[in-house]
Amino acid sequence: MSIETSRLGFEHRGLSLSYLDSAPGDAERPAVLLLHGFPDEATLWSQQITALHAAGYRCIAPDTVGCGESDIAPRLRDYRALAIVGDHLALLDRLGIARVHVVGHDWGAVLAWLLAGHFPHRVRSLAALGVGHPTAYARAGLEQKLLGWYTYYFLLAGISDRLLQGDNVLSLTRYFQHPRKAQVLQRLRRPGRMTAALRIYRANVATILLQRQPKPSAPTLGIWAEGDRFLVESQMTRSEDWVTGPWRYERFPGDHWTPIGEAARLNAALLDHLRQGA
């Protein structure tokens, strides 16, 4: 990163949880909480942290439980989405931050929707990248179910954990084509890390698909990339029906990993959104 970003940690739920903070102790800057998804960690947001910090924001990017440098939790239920949201709220409480702008990508977008919906008093604005409101996603129809086939592959404990680390057609390097695949594989090949990263699917798929989630009231920006091989556009555009506050939608070029491949465009869109949600 081109700015001095501190990697810090705190204790919650008996776990040591890691996070990046671009301005530790600075209570004057408005805070932005940046939430990553699978198979990423907090450093996904390196280019956004640089741009947002330079514009006057304090950027806080947690490693969710089991990811990055955060501890691996022992039980599947430790990875339930609302438990992870509780981790993020505990971090904000520890830092003395009452309200925050929330930005999420992939599963981080799901967590962001839940945080904004269940705890509206803590959220200034919401930006969801890739994944729309969970209820809109669940109702997106057959095309989304087909594109999301890998979700059920990930539920095959012990099988997908092993295959994803190889060089076969179902691996991270081949089918999923992560732009930082070498770094991702090096991290996930550490003992227990692949299984921990996959547990967010195994602990939440039924809940996310079957339960209606609350509608956020914060100003909301939805972003979907036209080259996203995992998500249909309608599950994002129809998220407008699942917010009660101001809604804005932007269609980006590029693939699923917008924070990396379309960083400059995303940074500009986020800065505009954050200023409107101030």
pLDDT 10s digits, 22-39: 999 999 999 999 999 999
Q: Percent of the chain beyond pLDDT 90?
A: 87
Give the bridge partners for 255, in sequence order. Answer: none
In this prediction, residues 46-53 reach a mean pLDDT of 98
**6-140+204-276: CATH class:** alpha beta
Question: Is 236:249 a contact under the CB 8 Å cutoff?
Answer: yes
- pTM score, two decimals? 0.96
In terms of C-beta density within 10 A (0-12 exposed, 13-18 middle, 19 or more buried), how is residue 158 classed?
exposed
Give the bridge partners for 226, in sequence order. Answer: none
Residue 1 has pLDDT above 80, yes or no: no
Q: Which residue carries 């960083």 as its tokens?
A: 263
Average pLDDT of the chain, as a whole number: 94
Cα R_g (the chain), whole angstroms = 17
pLDDT 10s digits, 51-91: 999 999 999 999 999 999 999 999 999 999 999 999 999 99
According to the model, what pLDDT value does residue 117 have? 97
According to the model, what pLDDT value does residue 270 have? 98
Residue 252 has pLDDT above 50, yes or no: yes
Q: How confident is the model at residue 148 (pLDDT cuts 50, 70, 90)?
A: very high
C-alpha distances in Å from residue 269, one per residue of 23, 52, 122, 128, 260: 22, 11, 22, 12, 14
Report H helices in the chain: 46-54, 81-95, 107-118, 134-138, 142-147, 150-154, 160-163, 181-188, 193-202, 205-210, 234-237, 258-261, 263-276
pLDDT 10s digits, 161-186: 999 988 888 888 888 888 998 899 99
Q: How confident is the model at residue 3 (pLDDT cuts 50, 70, 90)?
A: low
How far apart, in Å, do the first and last CA atoms of the chain sit? 26
In this prediction, residues 1-28 reach a mean pLDDT of 89
Residue 199 has pLDDT above 60, yes or no: yes
Residue 208 has pLDDT above 90, yes or no: no
Angle at the Cα of 190 from the Cα atoms of 188 and 194, rounded to 5 degrees: 40
